Amino acid sequence: MNKAVVTLAGVTKQYNGHPALVDISLTVADGEFLSLLGPSGCGKTTLLRLIGGFERCTKGSVLIDGRDTDGVPPERRAVNTVFQNYALFPHMTVFDNVAFGLRMANRPRDEIAAAVNGALDLVQLHGMAARRPAELSGGQQQRVAIARAIVNKPRVLLLDEPLSALDHRLRKQMQKELKQLQRTLGITFILVTHDQDEAFAMSDRVVVMQQGRIEQIGSPREIYEEPVNLYVARFVGDINVLAGVIREKIGPNLYTALVEGVTVQLRSDRPLSLAQPVHILLRPEDFRLAVEDAATPARELPGTIRHAGLKGTVRRIFYHGATYDVEVSLENGTRIQVTEFFDEDSDTLSCTPGDRVTLGWHEGWEVVLPHEE
């Protein structure tokens, strides 16, 4: 990893004695795209405001390039912010909005013109310099806000849910453009979002937060496939949580367990003890489903999923185009969601409501966690 550009050391922030952030320590690398992910009120925007200089720490310190920023105002930090509402000057043209900070810094006129035109080219607004914000679409206004933030080449760009006002299609497009822009500029981006898809699509690392604390830091794949607790698992996508009890250790990181009344084999890097209650986490796409029929009522699932054999009945099916979700009720009443890919060569889905099915998964795809209340 590149050298640290932002370091938070033991940061706590309180408002009237109530904690918004509790003992946050975090390092952001130079050139990294980092997302702060969590629900409203978890402290992610407060953390962004501390880095930007709009708030001061109650305890701890915020360092930029190794220098303590306590008491340094926003305009004197090598940091710029793109706000959720864009904060454009409605009476100014696009050019003047982007040039505002450079003019306040008394840059030469020719230098301002070159920098502004370059920034507008980067955000694909060439030819719109004379327009005013009211003449632009929401996506174009957002591009102006980004151009204004990057025109003076800050060390860090802070983005406070900048895509939240855009429609779904434009939001997806802007995610790709922001990622490419960050790669082109090499600037450190720190994004605040409550949208898991958005964080995963753009980020090198994701920080999952809850109630002012960091729950997990990792790559999008690590966060999704290796959640450290139930909160993270449930926040970053659909998840099936099965109840189990460890029965026996049968090899390195390999156990048998009673899961929803069925003995199955589990793999876990965590040390587990006999009779320990556990949660077994499986994403809907991790399951494999086989329909039983009168001729082969005990048909086994193929290959490496043969070890599992949860029995159930299909209750409902939800079609999504390329995939469809199958809701299965196990024999003990537990509901399971399975995601299947639609076979375009078939006129029908692989199962229908009322079918008896067997469920399994590839060994090692499960995540095993100690039981949480």
**What residues contact 371, with CB distance under 8 A and at least 6 apart?**
243, 276, 277, 278, 279
Residue 254 binned pLDDT confidence (cut-offs 50, 70, 90) = very high
Whether the per-residue pLDDT at 296 is higher than 70: the answer is no
* Superfamily name and number for 4-234: P-loop containing nucleotide triphosphate hydrolases (3.40.50.300)
Rounded to whole angstroms, how far apart are CA atoms 193 and 208?
10
The torsion of the CA quartet 311, 316, 319, 323, rounded to 10 degrees, works out to -20
Please provide the average confidence, as pLDDT, over all residues in the chain.
89
Give the amino acid at 296: T
> Residue 63 belongs to what H/E stretch?
strand 59-64
State what percent of residues in the chain have pLDDT above 70: 94
**What residues contact 97, with CB distance under 8 A and at least 6 apart?**
88, 89, 133, 144, 148
pLDDT digits over 107-139, tens only? Answer: 999 999 999 999 998 888 888 899 999 999 888
Rounded to whole angstroms, how far apart are CA atoms 366 and 302?
17
pLDDT digits over 50-67, tens only? Answer: 999 999 999 999 999 999
How, if at all, do strands 18-29 and 4-15 pair?
Answer: antiparallel
Rounded to whole angstroms, how far apart are CA atoms 213 and 215?
6
Full strand arrangement of the beta sheet holding 205-210:
79-82, 156-160, 188-193, 33-37, 205-210, 213-218
Tokens of 25: 């320590």
Q: What is the pLDDT of residue 43?
A: 94
Q: Which of 108, 205, 201, 99 is nearest to 149 (CA)?
A: 99
Q: What is the pLDDT of residue 178?
A: 87
SS3 145: helix
State what percent of residues in the chain have pLDDT above 90: 62
Q: What is the pLDDT of residue 130?
A: 92
Tokens of 359: 């469920």
Is the domain defined by 240-370 classed in CATH 1.10.540.10? no
Whether the per-residue pLDDT at 306 is higher than 50: the answer is no
Q: What is the pLDDT of residue 347?
A: 60
Tokens of 330: 């196990």
Whether the per-residue pLDDT at 203 is higher than 70: the answer is yes
Q: What is the pLDDT of residue 298?
A: 44
Rounded to whole angstroms, how far apart are CA atoms 259 and 254?
15
Q: What is the pLDDT of residue 304?
A: 42
What would the mean pLDDT of 309-333 be, rounded to a whole number?
91
What would the mean pLDDT of 98-104 be, rounded to a whole number?
90
Rounded to whole angstroms, how far apart are CA atoms 26 and 55?
17
Q: What is the pLDDT of residue 294?
A: 53
Contact at 8 Å (CB) between 356 and 292?
yes
**For 146-164, b where at least 16 C-beta lie within 10 A, e where not — what string?**
bbbbbbeebebbbbbbbbe
- Identify the residue with better confidence: 164 or 3: 3
Tokens of 11: 């940061």
Rounded to whole angstroms, how far apart are CA atoms 149 and 39?
26
* Residue ranges of domains in the chain: 4-234, 240-370
pLDDT digits over 131-173, tens only? Answer: 999 999 888 888 898 999 999 889 999 999 888 877 888 888 8
